[in-house]
Structure formats: structure tokens, C-alpha cells
């Protein structure tokens, strides 16, 4: 009855379904890998973001080395801001609005410096491509608590004077005449004393896993449905072949039940409008 499955045509259909199912499985696994990366980041955020700040100890917990497990860890530094070498990173959206992030070197007592991302500024109205005003950081010695973030890769994109296209710490270190701890930079959490005016603070990162798990299950389901569809098509083909060669099994005819005498009498009365 299903000998047609061994034909070249149906073998081709089987191969196509297998390829389709393999693609669905691959996409499902890709979504699971993305979810795993998101979950790992959420675990780092929950473990480090609100942890008690560590006091900076040279050679131990600075930004001269970076470990993914320490991302978002707050470190407290003491130093002075180098406003002369301050730059802004362009193309930094926040809540759907384009803008900039202010990057200021903080010179430490040990002679090195770290980059502090002091916050976000919107695109200005007075001059295209620049914020209207960049708030000054506190003058003199300041105590800064910043959360550790890895540097960004270099991008093949230019930027106006005083701006950078990415937080490329190696490139930023070339602008300075003192050593920069260039394995990580810090998102400002607190500075003492505070400035009269500050950029918009970076929001806490999201801990939402997103739809990756449901998407992966959908892709796996699509892979299974591909075989279900092939089986249904084979069943229809078998029925068609049986009808053509006369081997189809006759389906039993369902007889209509004859109305009872009481039902006949009720129908007559209804027709005459007596009831």
C-alpha cells in the first residue's frame, strides 16, 4: 500500500523534509545558545550590580585586567578628572533617542588612569552633531565609584574632533601622556563630591530573558511538523492510489433513522399549526 514511498519522487520529498527539519533544529539550538548567553549576563548583573563597592587596590582589582565574571562589579577610585582629555562617544541611543556618552580619564594616585563613563547626553539643538553642553565633572580630588565594563572593539568609522566612534580603550590610551588601564572602563555609579550638573546616569541593565526559549521550542515544533506533514501527504497519496486502482475499501453507508410514529404525529400537528 505504501510502496510508492520507495520511488525517487518520494525519496526526494523525504530528503527535503529532513533538510528542513535539520534547519529548524539548528535555528532552535541557536536560540537556546542566545538564551544561555542572556542568562549568564543576568546572573552577572544580579551577583555584581548591587554588590558592596570594592576599594581600588593597585594590581588587584583595577581596570588593567578584565574577567567576564566581574562585569558590573563596582570599584571605588580616588583621583582627579582630566577634563582636557575628555571625549564623547557618538551614536549612543537611550530609550530610542540618539545621543552621546561622556568619557573622562580619572588620574589615580599611583600614576595610572581609568576611563569613567559619566553618563549620557542628548543630541543638541544649537549645533548639529554635538550636544548643547557637556557638564563639568567635580574639580580637585574626587572619590568615584564605577561599575566595570569591557572595552569595545575599534570600528572603521570616523568622528569629529573631541568625539570617538567606540570606547576603544587602546585608542584612547594613545591620546594620553600617562598610562591608562585599558582592559576595562567604568560606568559612573557615584562621585563624591558631586558635580553641580551631571549627564543622565546609565540605567540598570535589563534582566529579562526575552523570547529565546519560546522561539527555540517553536523551531523544534516546526521540524516535527515537517515530518507530520509528509506522513499526512503519504496517507492522502495512498488513498488516491487505492481509489484509482479500485482497491479502496468501501465506507459503510450510514442509514438515516426512520422517524417514530409519535414524531410523525408531532410533525403533522406542527404543519397544521395546531401546536
pLDDT, tens digit only, all 275 positions of the chain: 777 778 888 889 999 999 999 999 999 999 999 999 999 999 999 999 999 999 999 989 999 999 999 999 999 999 999 999 999 999 999 988 999 999 999 999 999 999 999 999 998 887 777 888 899 999 999 999 999 999 999 888 878 888 999 999 999 999 999 999 999 999 999 999 988 889 999 889 988 889 999 999 999 999 999 999 999 998 888 888 877 776 666 555 556 666 666 666 666 666 666 55
pTM of the full predicted structure?
Answer: 0.74
CB 86 within 8 A of CB 171: no
Tens of pLDDT along 233-244? Answer: 988 888 888 777
* DSSP state for residue 64 in the 8-state scheme: T
CATH number of 53-192: 2.40.50
Beta strands 184-192; 141-150: pairing state: antiparallel
Tens of pLDDT along 194-206? Answer: 888 899 998 899 8
Domain ranges of the chain: 1-49+207-245, 53-192
d(CA 101, CA 133): 12
Beta strands 184-192; 87-89: pairing state: unpaired
d(CA 29, CA 224): 15
Question: For the CA atoms of the chain, what is the radius of gyration?
Answer: 35
Beta strands 74-81; 99-108: pairing state: antiparallel
Q: Which runs of E-coded beta strand occur in the chain? A: 54-55, 74-81, 87-89, 99-108, 113-122, 141-150, 163-164, 184-192
Rounded to 5 degrees, φ, ψ at 56 are -65, 130
Rounded to 5 degrees, φ, ψ at 162 are 85, 5
Amino acid at each position: 500500500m505504501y510502496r510508492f514511498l520507495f520511488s525517487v519522487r518520494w525519496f526526494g520529498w523525504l530528503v527535503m523534509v529532513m533538510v528542513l527539519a535539520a534547519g529548524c533544529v539548528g535555528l532552535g539550538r541557536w536560540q537556546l545558545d542566545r538564551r544561555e548567553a542572556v542568562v549568564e549576563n543576568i546572573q552577572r548583573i544580579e551577583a555584581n550590580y548591587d554588590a558592596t563597592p570594592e576599594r581600588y587596590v593597585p594590581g588587584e582589582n583595577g581596570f588593567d585586567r578584565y574577567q567576564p565574571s566581574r562585569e558590573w562589579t563596582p570599584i571605588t577610585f580616588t583621583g582627579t578628572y582630566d577634563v582636557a582629555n575628555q571625549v564623547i562617544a557618538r551614536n549612543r541611543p537611550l530609550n530610542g533617542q540618539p545621543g552621546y556618552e561622556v568619557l573622562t580619564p580619572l588620574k589615580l594616585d599611583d600614576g595610572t588612569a581609568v576611563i569613567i563613563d559619566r553618563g549620557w547626553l542628548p543630541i543638541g539643538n544649537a549645533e548639529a552633531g554635538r550636544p548643547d553642553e557637556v557638564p563639568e565633572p567635580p574639580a580637585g580630588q574626587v572619590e568615584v565609584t564605577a561599575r566595570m565594563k569591557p572595552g569595545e572593539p575599534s570600528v572603521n568609522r570616523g568622528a569629529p574632533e573631541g568625539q570617538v566612534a567606540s570606547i576603544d580603550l587602546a585608542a584612547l590610551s594613545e591620546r594620553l601622556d600617562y598610562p591608562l588601564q585599558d582592559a576595562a572602563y567604568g560606568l559612573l555609579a557615584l562621585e563624591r563630591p558631586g558635580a553641580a550638573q551631571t549627564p543622565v546616569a546609565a540605567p540598570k541593565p535589563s534582566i529579562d530573558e526575552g523570547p529565546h526559549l519560546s522561539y527555540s521550542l517553536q523551531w523544534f515544533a516546526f521540524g516535527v511538523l515537517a515530518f507530520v506533514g509528509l506522513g499526512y501527504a503519504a496517507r492522502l497519496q495512498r488513498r488516491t492510489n487505492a481509489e484509482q486502482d479500485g482497491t479502496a475499501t468501501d465506507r459503510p453507508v450510514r442509514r438515516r433513522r426512520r422517524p417514530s410514529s409519535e414524531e410523525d404525529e408531532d410533525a403533522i400537528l406542527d404543519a397544521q399549526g395546531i401546536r
